[in-house]
Amino acid sequence: MNGTRLQRYGGLLLLALALALGPLFLQNGFHYNVAILAGLNAIVCIGLNLLIGYAGQISLGHAGFYALGAYASAILPDRFGFHPLGAMITGAVAVGLIAFAVARPILRLKGHYLAMATLGMGIIVSIVLDQEVDITGGPDGMPVGDLSAFGYVVSGNLAWYTLVAILLFITVWLALNLVHSPVGRALKAVHGSEIAAAAMGVDVFHYKVLVFVVSAIIASVAGSIFAHYSGFITPDEGSFIHSIELVTMVVLGGMASITGSIVGAVLLTVLPQMLADFHDYEMIVFGAILMSMMILMPKGLVPTLAGLFKGRRS
C-alpha cells in the first residue's frame, strides 16, 4: 500500500515538474498551440480512459459531450449574458444530466451495441449543432468570447498553457484518487468479470453510470476551455471523427493507464502537425502508423513499454 502511494505521489510530482518545465521547450506560438491542444485532449482522454480502460465500457460519442460544453460557453455568455465561468458550469451540469439520463438505458447494452448507441448519440448531437443555424451558426461555426474571472482575462500563450497545465494536473490527481478508491477497485472488478463483481456485491450498474457521467463532465469542461481558447468553434468539435480520435488516443496510449492517456493524447496531437509536411500523403501515413502501432502493441504504448522495462529488470 505504501509503495503504491509513493508511486502515485512520485508520479504526480514528476507530472508537475514536466508541466512546469514545459515552457522552456516551447519556443513559439505554434509550439504553445500544440501543447495546449495536447493538454486539452489529454484531459478528455483521462476521463474517457476511466470509462474504457477501468470500467470496460466503450464510448464512440464523447466528442458530443465535448461539443456541448464548447457550445454552452459560446452561446450562454453571448445570448443570455452568462458569466463565462457560469456558462462553463451550466454546460457541465447540463452535460452531466444528459449523460446520466442516457447512461441508464445505454449502459445496459454490451459490446458493439453500446458502441453503436454512443456513436448514434454523438452523431445526433453533431447533426443538431449543424442544423440549428439560428443558435449555433450551423456548419460555419460561431465565435466565442473571452474567458474572464475575477477581473482577469485569460490571454496570451503562457496564461493558456498554465491554465491547461493546472487543469490537467487536477484531472490526473482526481483520476488517480478515483482509481485507488473503493470505486476504482469496484471498477477493476467490473472490468475483470462483471458477473463475479456482481456476485461479490458490487453494484456494477451504479459504478458504470457514475464513471460515464464523470467522463462526460470532464469532456464538457475541456470543450468549454477549448472554445474560449480557440475563440471560434464549429460542429466538427462534436463529429464522429473527433470521437474516434479520442478513443484512439486512449487505446494507443494504453487502456487503464493514466500516463498512457497523456502519452496517447500528446502523440496523436503532435503527429498530424508533423505529418502536415507530407501534404497529400498525411492520411496515408497517419492510417498506416495507427494500424501498425495497434498491431505491434495491442496493449498500447505505455503498458507495452512498461512491460519491456519490467521484463528486463527481473
Partner 1 sequence: MLAEFLQFLFSGLTVGAIYGLIGLGFAVIYNASHVINFAQGEFVMIGGMATVFLMKAGVPMPLAILIAIAGAAAVGWVLARFGIETARGSTVVGLIIITIGASILLRGLAQVIWDRNFHALPAFAGDTPIQILGAALLPQSLIIGTALVLTMLGLRLFFEHTRIGKAMQATAIDPLAAQLVGIDTRRIVRLSFVLSAALGAMAGVLVAPITMTYANVGVMLGLKGFAATIVGGLGNPLGAIAGGLIVGIAEAMTAGYLTSAYKDAVAFIIILFVLLFMPNGLFGRAEVTKV
As measured in angstroms, the least distance from the Cβ of 6 to partner 1 is 30
218 touches partner 1 by CB under 8 A: no
Range 129-158, binding partner 1 (CB under 8 A): 131
217 touches partner 1 by CB under 8 A: no
Q: State phi, psi for 148 to the nearest 5 degrees.
A: -130, 145
Range 25-84, binding partner 1 (CB under 8 A): 52, 58
CA–CA separation, 252 and 292 (whole Å): 11
121 touches partner 1 by CB under 8 A: yes
25 CB contacts (<8 Å, ≥6 apart)?
31
- Block residue for cell numbers 498551440: 33
Nearest to 74 by CA among 152, 141, 128, 154: 141
274 touches partner 1 by CB under 8 A: no
Cα–Cα distances in angstroms (integers) from residue 142 to residues 67, 72, 113, 135, 278, in the given order? 12, 12, 34, 9, 30
As measured in angstroms, the least distance from the Cβ of 297 to partner 1 is 9
286 touches partner 1 by CB under 8 A: yes
Q: Which lies closer to partner 1 via its Cβ, residue 56 or residue 223?
A: 56
CA–CA separation, 264 and 1 (whole Å): 28
307 touches partner 1 by CB under 8 A: no
Query: Which one of 31, 96, 100, 282 is in contact with partner 1 (CB under 8 A)?
Result: 282
Cα 121 from chain centroid (whole Å):
17
CA–CA separation, 246 and 49 (whole Å): 10
Nearest to 127 by CA among 248, 52, 236, 260: 236
Nearest to 54 by CA among 199, 181, 217, 238: 181
53 CB contacts (<8 Å, ≥6 apart)?
191, 250, 254, 255, 256, 257, 260
As measured in angstroms, the least distance from the Cβ of 248 to partner 1 is 6
Query: Which one of 20, 159, 291, 308 is in contact with partner 1 (CB under 8 A)?
Result: 291
Q: Tally Cβ neighbours within 10 Å of residue 310.
A: 9
Range 230-269, binding partner 1 (CB under 8 A): 240-241, 244, 247-248, 251-252, 255
Q: For the chain, how many helices (H) and strands (E)?
A: 14, 4
CA–CA separation, 127 and 61 (whole Å): 13
Range 98-117, binding partner 1 (CB under 8 A): 105-106, 108-113, 115-117
124 touches partner 1 by CB under 8 A: yes
272 touches partner 1 by CB under 8 A: no
Q: How many residues bind partner 1 (CB under 8 A)?
A: 48
287 touches partner 1 by CB under 8 A: yes
Q: Which lies closer to partner 1 via its Cβ, residue 89 or residue 128?
A: 128
As measured in angstroms, the least distance from the Cβ of 3 to partner 1 is 28
Query: Residue numbers of the site for partner 1 (CB under 8 A)?
Result: 52, 58, 105-106, 108-113, 115-117, 119-121, 123-124, 127-128, 131, 193-196, 240-241, 244, 247-248, 251-252, 255, 280-291, 294-295, 298
